[in-house]
Every structure is written in C-alpha cells, then in structure tokens.
Amino acid sequence: MQNHIMSKSKLDSIAVEVKEVSFSYNNLRVIDRLSLRVPKGISFGLLGPNGAGKTTLIRLAVGLLKPKSGNIRILGEPPSRKTAHLIGYMPQLHSLYAELSVRQNVDFFARIYRLTNKPERSERVEEVIKLVDLWQRRNDAVLKLSSGMRQRVSMACAIVHKPPLLFLDEPTVGLDPELRVTFWEYFNNLTKQGNTLIISSHTMDDAAHCDRLAFMRDGRVIAQGAPNELKQATGQPEASLEDAFLYFLHSEEKKRDS
Amino acid sequence: MIPSQAFTIAGRVIRQLVRDRRTMALIVIVPLVVMTLIGLSFPESNVLDYIAPALLATLALFFSFLLTGISFLRERSQGTMERLMASPLSRLDIVLGYLFGFFIFALTQSLIILLFTIYALGVNYFGDLWQIFVFQIVIITGAVTLGIFISTFARNEFQMVQFIPLIIIPQIFLCGVIWPVEQMPDYLQWLSVVLPLTYAVDGLREIMLAGKNLLDVGFELAVLVGFVVLTSILAALTLRRGASG
C-alpha cells in the first residue's frame, strides 16, 4: 500500500515521461526507442546536433505526431486535445501572422486557449507583451519587427495562457547575447514558479543554463543528468559540456561497435 | 452546433487579409478588369446573355478556389497551422473558421462580378436577383472548402498554382460551359456527373435563362450542398500541420 502511494507521488512529480518511443519518416528512423523522464518544475534541455531528433521529439510530446511504438505521458495523460491547454508550444519557425500586430497575434492565441473573459484576457495580453519587452511596439505588424523581436512575440504567444508545461524549440536561435540572457532570466523565473520547461538547443551555452540535460544523437538519448553530473562523468575536472557531449558520443560509438 | 472557436479563427483571417492592402485592392480590381474584357469581347448582347450563367458559375469557382487555396497553403508554410494543431482547437473549428473567413472575401468578389455583369454589362436575365445570389453563395462555399482540401496536397505555392489548371480547366470543358454535356462521348458525360461545376452551371442557367426558382433547382442545390459537406469533412480529415509533412 505504502509502495503504491510512493509510486503515485513519484508519478505526480513527473511532467513528461517518454517510454521506448520510436518514430520514422518515410522509413527513416528519427526517434529510436527513446526513453526519458522530466521532473516537474525544472528546465530540461534537449541537446544535440541538427538531425538528432529534438524537434521530432517535441512534436511527439505536444501531440502533433503519433509514436510508431512506445508511449508518452504529459502530466500523467497521453498527449491529446485534452492536454493541449496545459502545454505552451513555441515552434522553431516564428509561426506568427505577419500582417497582424503584436497585440493581435498574442490576443488570438489567448482566445484559442479559451481566455474568454475579455477584461482578464486584455490584462494578460498586456502583461505578456510587457514581459517580452515589446509594449512600445504592440501595434506594429509583426512583419516590421526584427528576427529577435519576432522570437519574443512567438514566446509571448506560447505563454499567454499560463501553461504549466512549455516546449520551446530552439528559442534562443537568432538572439543577440543580451537578449539570450534576458530569455534565460525569464525561463528561470518560470521554473521558480513551478513550471516545467523543455528546451531544445544545439548550443552548449544554452545547455549550461538548464537544470537537467539529455544529450541526443541519431534519435536516441546518449546521456541524461544535471550539467555538473555530466561533466564529472568524463573523469576530467576541467571538462566543459562540449567535452562531456563528445565523451558520451564516443562511449556510445564504442558500445555500438562492440 | 457551430464550434465557437471557428469565429475566432474567421475574425483573425479577415483582419489579416484586410491589413494586406494590396491584396484587398486586387480582390476588387481583378474581377472588374476580367469582366470588362469579357463584356467587350461579346459585341452581340444575346450571346452574352446566354453565356452569362456559365460565366458567373465558373468565375465564382475559379476566384474562390484560387483565393482559398493559396491563403490556406500560406497558413501551413508559415508554421502557424502547426501552432493551431497543437492547441485545444478541433479540426472542425479550424476548417469552419477558415471557411467563414475566406467566404467573406469570395462573396465580395462574386457579388462584384454578379452586379457588374447585370448592371454594367447589361445582361438580360429572368428569375430573381436574390435567388441567383443565393445559388452563387452555395457555389462559392463549395469552392472555398475545395480550396482548403486541395491545398493539403500542395507543399508550396508553385505546386498549388499547378492545381488550378488541373481542378478548374477540365470543369470548364466538361461541365457544359462551352459545349453541351449531352453532345460529349458517354465516358466524358459520366465524368461530368461527378464534377460540381456541372450542377452550378445547370442550376444558374435554369434560374437566369428559364426564370425558375430555387425550389425548381432543388436537385442541383442539394448536390452542391452535398459537395460542401463532403469537401469540408475531407478537409478536416486531411488537415496537416505544415507544408512539409
């Protein structure tokens, strides 16, 4: 009985669970029997080169793709329309309505995520636009904004409905260093409030900011852990995350060869 | 009955197109230019009177299909469809939302064409103007849902443009626009049975040339409504998040 309670509370603390998931595009296996667990309230980085399967994994988790085998749980449920409101999703493309203003874009996403009460919605829309520091540009069409600004609008659209779980696909690409710092400050605030963030990236700079990391290669997770744990695993005191990635990559290749 | 979120999407589609001033101007000017040229090319007005119903049906199909197909494809290529598909919206919300949104512009174009044909080109017709217009609305709705459905099979604008001759031109030749269906070989007559423009042209001719009313063309109307329902369902089932997959 106690065991049962323990396992339930353990499950309650898991935001995303991926078990033995495989997925292929036209017979090309993009995700290969991948398993991982993301505890609630942390920032979890998916790190790996282009083509490692990061975006596909995110698409599977938000329910845009169905796994060929294995299963996924989002806050205890399989991804579906029922879980959609719990998720904020920022795709890799800016994915905004270019002719519409910043405010119209954010307001549209607030509406489709059922923020039906108008005064509450307006307040929340204003709040997130200020948060991404675009209040001065709120009435400008997105097509007049720089790439970094669009990235911020995209972010505002993903968080406007206050989702407890956020999937951010390469959110820092194209951002200048100053803005990158601002984004990370913001991500850290979100996790402090108990939200879970899953962030894909191919830069080690982003990796260092995450609470936990999964190194990915060819559709598989080759290592998981906190950044420090991963560095220590190399056995070299001065190892960087880059060294750690290469270390795990080589040991994975050795395992495969043998 | 109608998913409420469809109106949110429709509102956004309308706002977006209205903010694109050049597109708005083209939506109004292009049908006017086309109709003027067609009008000038028919010096004998009785020929134009006869061809007018088929012309109205064909242009309603052509303009509405073009507008919808390209706009909907853009939703996918710019990645916004991916976001909608990950949201709590149902597929029906999405298809109906776009249907309502694009419908307003398709309706505007068809109204311009109809009024220009009747008042500027002075085409003679029987039947009530409002009944002609109601019949046009059904044609436009079918063209919009067809545009949404067909755009699923295009991965970029260039491919979508290739679908226009494939979908529109055979219908012009096989649906009695130029040559009566009864005088075509049997196998082509069978083909014309499944093409919506056949019913659109027949129905409009009955109203405009024979002075019949909407009840008299109930069969044609029912087939066109059936086509709307079928293409809406197919569009909802085949809806894809992106242009690439």
Higher pLDDT, B141 or B42: B141
Given a cut of 50, whether residue A201 has pLDDT beyond it is yes
- Comparing CB atoms, the residue among A93, A94, A114 nearest residue B88 is A114
| Interval B175-211: pLDDT, tens | 888 888 888 899 988 999 999 999 999 999 999 999 9
Q: How many CB atoms lie within 10 A of CB A85?
A: 16
B80 in contact with A at a CB cutoff of 8 Å? yes
Report yes or no: B139 and B61 within 8 Å, Cβ to Cβ: yes
Instruction: Select from A112, A142, A153 the residue whose CB has the most chain B CBs within 10 Å, as the one to mutate to test that interface.
Output: A112
Which residues from chain B sit within 8 angstroms of residue A111, using beta carbons? 5, 8
Q: How many CB atoms lie within 10 A of CB B219?
A: 11
* Closest by Cα among B120, B106, B102, B104 to B32: B120
| Interval A72-125: pLDDT, tens | 999 999 998 889 999 999 998 889 999 999 999 999 999 999 898 999 999 999
| Interval B58-90: pLDDT, tens | 999 998 998 889 888 888 888 899 899 999 998
* Closest by Cα among B179, B147, B162 to B63: B147
Which of B135-155 are b and which e, b meaning 16 or more Cβ less than 10 Å from the residue's Cβ? bbbbbbbbbbbbbbbbbbebb
Enumerate residues 82 to 101 of chain B having a beta carbon within 8 A of any beta carbon in chain A: 82-90
Which residues from chain B sit within 8 angstroms of residue A56, using beta carbons? none
Given a cut of 60, whether residue B141 has pLDDT beyond it is yes
**Local confidence band at A3 (pLDDT 50, 70, 90 cut-offs):** very low
- Rounded Cα distance between B100 and B83, Å, is 20
| Interval A171-193: pLDDT, tens | 988 788 888 888 899 899 999 99
Given this model, what pLDDT does residue B176 score?
Answer: 85
Taking residues B210-229, report their average pLDDT.
94
- Rounded Cα distance between A48 and A34, Å, is 14
* Chain B nearest CA to A231, separation (Å): 35
Report yes or no: B57 and B132 within 8 Å, Cβ to Cβ: no
Given this model, what pLDDT does residue A5 score?
Answer: 47
* Closest by Cα among B231, B54, B219 to B142: B231
- Rounded Cα distance between A62 and A23, Å, is 14
Given this model, what pLDDT does residue B156 score?
Answer: 85
Which residues from chain A sit within 8 angstroms of residue B20, using beta carbons? 99
Compute the count of residue pairs across chains A and B with CB atoms less than 8 Å apart: 65
A186 in contact with B at a CB cutoff of 8 Å? no
Cβ <8 Å between B88 and A112: yes
* Angle subtended by helix axes A102-112 and A118-131, to nearest 10: 130
- Comparing CB atoms, the residue among A84, A93, A109 nearest residue B79 is A93
Given a cut of 70, whether residue A10 has pLDDT beyond it is no
**How many residues appear in chain B?**
245
Report yes or no: B9 and B98 within 8 Å, Cβ to Cβ: yes
Given this model, what pLDDT does residue A249 score?
Answer: 87
Report yes or no: A115 and A160 within 8 Å, Cβ to Cβ: yes
* Closest by Cα among B222, B56, B44 to B129: B56
* Closest by Cα among B173, B171, B147 to B161: B147
Which residues from chain B sit within 8 angstroms of residue A85, using beta carbons? 88
| Token couple for B237 | 């089932």
- Rounded Cα distance between B239 and B156, Å, is 15
- Rounded Cα distance between B54 and B172, Å, is 9
**Local confidence band at A8 (pLDDT 50, 70, 90 cut-offs):** low
| Interval A36-72: pLDDT, tens | 999 999 999 999 988 899 999 999 999 999 999 999 9
Q: ipTM score of the complex?
A: 0.88
Enumerate residues 83 to 122 of chain A having a beta carbon within 8 A of any beta carbon in chain B: 84-85, 87, 89, 91-100, 104, 108-109, 111-114
**Local confidence band at A7 (pLDDT 50, 70, 90 cut-offs):** low
Q: How many CB atoms lie within 10 A of CB B111?
A: 16
* Chain A nearest CA to B133, separation (Å): 32
**What residues have CB less than 8 Å from B10, skipping those under 6 apart?**
B96, B97, B98, B99, B100, B101, B104
- Rounded Cα distance between A11 and A4, Å, is 10
* Closest by Cα among B80, B81, B142 to B106: B142
| Interval A204-243: pLDDT, tens | 888 889 999 999 999 999 999 999 999 988 888 788 888 8
Which residues from chain B sit within 8 angstroms of residue A108, using beta carbons? 8, 12
Higher pLDDT, A243 or B2: A243
Helix/strand/coil (H/E/C) assignment for every residue in chain B: CCCCHHHHHHHHHHHHHHHCHHHHHHHHHHHHHHHHHHHHHCCCHHHHHHHHHHHHHHHHHHHHHHHHHHHHHHHHHCCHHHHHHCCCCCHHHHHHHHHHHHHHHHHHHHHHHHHHHHHHCCCCCCCCHHHHHHHHHHHHHHHHHHHHHHHCCCCCHHHHHHHHHHHHHHHHHHCCCCCCHHHCCHHHHHHHHCCHHHHHHHHHHHHHHHCCCCCCCHHHHHHHHHHHHHHHHHHHHHCCCCCCC
Given this model, what pLDDT does residue B181 score?
Answer: 86
| Interval A124-175: pLDDT, tens | 999 999 988 899 999 999 999 998 899 999 999 999 999 999 999 999 887 8
What are the φ/ψ torsions at residue A193 (nearest 5 degrees)?
Answer: -80, 5
Rg (CA), chain A: 19
Average pLDDT, chain B: 89
Taking residues B6-11, report their average pLDDT.
94
* Angle subtended by helix axes B196-210 and B129-151, to nearest 10: 170
Given this model, what pLDDT does residue B240 score?
Answer: 65
Cβ <8 Å between B12 and A108: yes
| DSSP 8-class letter at A160 | T
- Rounded Cα distance between B102 and B106, Å, is 6
Taking residues B139-159, report their average pLDDT.
90
| Interval B89-107: pLDDT, tens | 988 899 899 999 999 999 9
Residue in chain B nearest A60 by alpha carbon: B86
> Which amino acid makes up residue A178?
E
Determine which of A201-210, B1-10, B46-55, B221-230 has the lowest per-residue pLDDT on average: B1-10
| DSSP 8-class letter at A142 | G
One-character DSSP codes across A54-112: HHHHHHHHTTSS--SEEEEEETTB-SSHHHHTTEEEE-SS----TTSBHHHHHHHHHHH
Which residues from chain A sit within 8 angstroms of residue B88, using beta carbons? 81, 84-85, 112-114
- Rounded Cα distance between B23 and A191, Å, is 44
